[in-house]
Amino acid sequence: MTKYIFVAGGVMSGVGKGIAASSIGNILQAAGYRVTALKIDPYVNVDAGTMNPTEHGEVFVLDDGTECDQDMGNYERFLNRDFSRINYMTTGSVYLSVIQRERAMGYGGKQVEVVPRIPLEVIDKINLALKKDKADIAVVEIGGTVGEYENILFLEAVRMLKIKNPQDVALVLVSFLPALGAGGDELKTKPTQHAVRSLNAVGLHPDMVLARAAVPLDEKRKAKIEFMCSIPKGYVISAPNVSSVYEVPINFEKDKMSEKLLSRLGLKAKNKDMREWRQMVLASKSAKLPVKIGIVGKYFATGDFVLEDSYISVIEAIKHAAWFNKRKPEIYWLSAESYENNPNSVKELKRYDGIIVPGGFGARGVEGKIKAIEFCRKQKIPYLGLCFGLQLAVIEFARNVCKIRDASSREFNPRTDFPVIDVMPEQKALLSEKKYGGTMRLGSYKCVIKKGTKSYTAYKNTVVSERHRHRYEVNNDFRDELEKNGLIVAGINPERDLVEIIELKNHPFFAASQFHPEFKSRPLRPHPLFREFIKASIKQR
């Protein structure tokens, strides 16, 4: 019989439920079980595609084109596998499924009520993921915080499952313990007690509490939570801050978490093999020599708050590749607007071993990014462009090498006479009708790689599949002129002859991709383009 582990949060949001769920999946997988992981977001949005990353964090894209929460990226990185749209749901998508079924007479003319239909739909989706992934255990993260109205229907789904299969369901509460006192080491348990009572109010009781805090939880406070919250002895797990999220599964196993969760579900570990994971964590901690990578963006001006969650996959991909190359990654946020306002300031790029221009949308900071790309091209600084970073590299090359001075993109200059970057034909109608959600070029597409290029050296393969999220492409009307002047089209999509990767000759490393390679990087399997970029950056240093 399949098993279910639900992860809910107490006290406050952003407490680390996604990393907790990912880590639970990691250690259960190491124990010999096939695990699937799901995220439930309590938003009426059907998916994450229309959410602002500066508010909600990165929009992660799956192979099938699903735009989802950044925690899906954590699941893929920690479990070293790919997931699909069935592993992600929102309030909006669940209600939409129920309404569509009702419109198709799927309920046989019966009255459709919020309870039980919405919780039952949630359970059906979880079971579908279990079946599709042929999994033994589903780890399901419930977004939001207990006590909120938004996620009460998802908690009701847990209650219904627990009633039907009490031995097959475990509920883990991730709760924050604030620190008071002069030394900041007096951890307070009262907020966690209130969070447990909020769960009790909806008919649930946690089987395990993960105590999130700045420092490890002492035995006295563990015992207090166990006593005050009726938690079995040993089932309060300390979850202190660590230097790397990849240490969390190892930390959990110090308290024998997998053994306790499996015991709660009536299971035993088939094996325990975390050797490769431990070696990766050890490599990350033993790397001492730095590699300095600058990321040029538009929200990094002096005084701006850099929401690193907006670029979490890029950050993690840099880490994976740096550790693979036995280096300690140092990441610097560089303001594109400062290069617009003060062109001479672009010289600061010489301080860094490599430069990345990540994905993005809109006109703000564009000219500053183009100046940074030009500087990297001329000064032989390793450069990696991601999606928008490819498009701006093509514009820079067209302007300064091909002498097409007014080259631009229709995205931020709709009236340009030289649209070296143009909107895809099928996107024009969608934009005119203001159909934005789920309508970009999304998900995995084939890329055929040209032999003899740096990209081929990286991939060691002529055909790969990579994930996309964009509406604009390199305009093939200008391709001959670009290639004639030395731009190498190293990768194309064979179905539509679209440019996927560009490179430059006689440069330590200058490459950019129309796709987002960061989405497929894993700590145990760094992405080839990031790996080679970091390698070139180390040589530059």
- Rounded CA separation 94/88 (Å): 10
Q: Which of 68, 518, 527, 532 is catalytic?
A: 518
Average pLDDT in the 440-448 region? 95
| CA neighbor of 520 nearest in space, from 470, 446, 466 | 466
Confidence band of 298 (pLDDT split at 50, 70, 90):
confident
Quick one: pLDDT at residue 184? 62
Half-sphere exposure of 214 (CA within 13 A, CB side): 9
| CA neighbor of 247 nearest in space, from 79, 37, 23 | 23
Average pLDDT in the 124-147 region? 96
Q: Which of 56, 470, 516, 527 is catalytic?
A: 516
Examine the domain organization and report whether 222 and 346 are in the same domain: no
- Look at residue 303 and tell me whether its pLDDT is greater than 70: no
Average pLDDT in the 495-516 region? 97
Query: Considering 250, 279, 308, which residue would you say is the last residue of a domain?
Result: 279
Examine the domain organization and report whether 295 and 263 are in the same domain: no
First to last CA, the chain: 55
* Structural domain total, the chain: 2
Q: Where are the beta strands (DSSP E) in 222-375?
A: 236-240, 290-297, 328-335, 354-357
Q: In angstroms, what CA-CA distances link 332 with 104, 251, 291, 486?
A: 53, 29, 11, 31
- Look at residue 439 and tell me whether its pLDDT is greater than 90: no
Residue 465 lies in a domain: no
Instruction: List, for residues 49-87, the tens digit of each pLDDT value.
Output: 888 877 778 999 999 999 999 999 999 999 999 999 999
Query: Considering 219, 251, 279, which residue would you say is the last residue of a domain?
Result: 279
Active site residue 527: no
Examine the domain organization and report whether 36 and 146 are in the same domain: yes
- Look at residue 151 and tell me whether its pLDDT is greater than 90: yes
Examine the domain organization and report whether 226 and 315 are in the same domain: no
Confidence band of 425 (pLDDT split at 50, 70, 90):
confident
Instruction: List, for residues 224-283, the tens digit of each pLDDT value.
Output: 999 999 999 999 999 999 999 999 999 999 999 999 999 999 999 998 889 999 999 999
Quick one: pLDDT at residue 183? 61
Examine the domain organization and report whether 28 and 72 are in the same domain: yes
Confidence band of 499 (pLDDT split at 50, 70, 90):
very high
- In which domain, by residue range, is 404 found? 287-423+472-490+502-540
SS3 label, residue 151: coil
Question: DSSP labels for 39-80?
Answer: EEE--SSSSSTTS-HHHH---EE-TT--EE-THHHHHHHHHT
Domain of 410, CATH number, reads 3.40.50.880
Residue 51 lies in a domain: yes
Examine the domain organization and report whether 207 and 336 are in the same domain: no
- Rounded CA separation 282/507 (Å): 33
Residue 446 lies in a domain: no
Examine the domain organization and report whether 265 and 121 are in the same domain: yes
Residue 10 pairs in a beta bridge with 175
- Rounded CA separation 422/476 (Å): 9
Residue 56 lies in a domain: yes
**Six-digit token string for 107:** 């309920």
Examine the domain organization and report whether 360 and 389 are in the same domain: yes
Domain of 229, CATH number, reads 3.40.50.300
Residue 433 lies in a domain: no
Highest mean pLDDT among 64-68, 186-190, 303-307: 64-68
- Rounded CA separation 518/365 (Å): 22
Quick one: pLDDT at residue 302? 47
* Widest pairwise Cα distance in the chain: 75
Q: Which of 387, 500, 503, 527 is catalytic?
A: 387
Four-residue CA torsion sign, 85, 91, 93, 95: positive
Higher-confidence residue of 309 and 135: namely: 135
Examine the domain organization and report whether 38 and 97 are in the same domain: yes
| CA neighbor of 280 nearest in space, from 468, 530, 80 | 80
Active site residue 387: yes
Average pLDDT in the 426-452 region? 85
Average pLDDT in the 409-423 region? 94
| CA neighbor of 510 nearest in space, from 319, 313, 373 | 373
Examine the domain organization and report whether 250 and 371 are in the same domain: no
Residue 398 lies in a domain: yes
- Look at residue 347 and tell me whether its pLDDT is greater than 70: yes
Quick one: pLDDT at residue 182? 62
Query: Considering 261, 279, 297, which residue would you say is the last residue of a domain?
Result: 279
| Residues of the chain above pLDDT 90, percent | 84
Looking at the chain, how many residues does it have? 541
Examine the domain organization and report whether 259 and 393 are in the same domain: no
- Look at residue 362 and tell me whether its pLDDT is greater than 90: no
**Residue-wise over 291-330: b if at least 16 C-beta within 10 A, else e?**
bbbbbbbbbbeeeeeeeeebbbbbbbbbbbbbbbbebbbe
Kindly state the helix (H) or strand (E) to which residue 394 belongs, with its residue range.
helix 388-400
- Look at residue 458 and tell me whether its pLDDT is greater than 90: yes
Residue 441 lies in a domain: no
Residue 452 lies in a domain: no
- Rounded CA separation 307/57 (Å): 8
* Beta-carbon contacts of residue 150 (< 8 Å; ≥ 6 apart): 42, 43, 91, 144
Active site residue 253: no
- Look at residue 322 and tell me whether its pLDDT is greater than 90: yes
Examine the domain organization and report whether 395 and 338 are in the same domain: yes
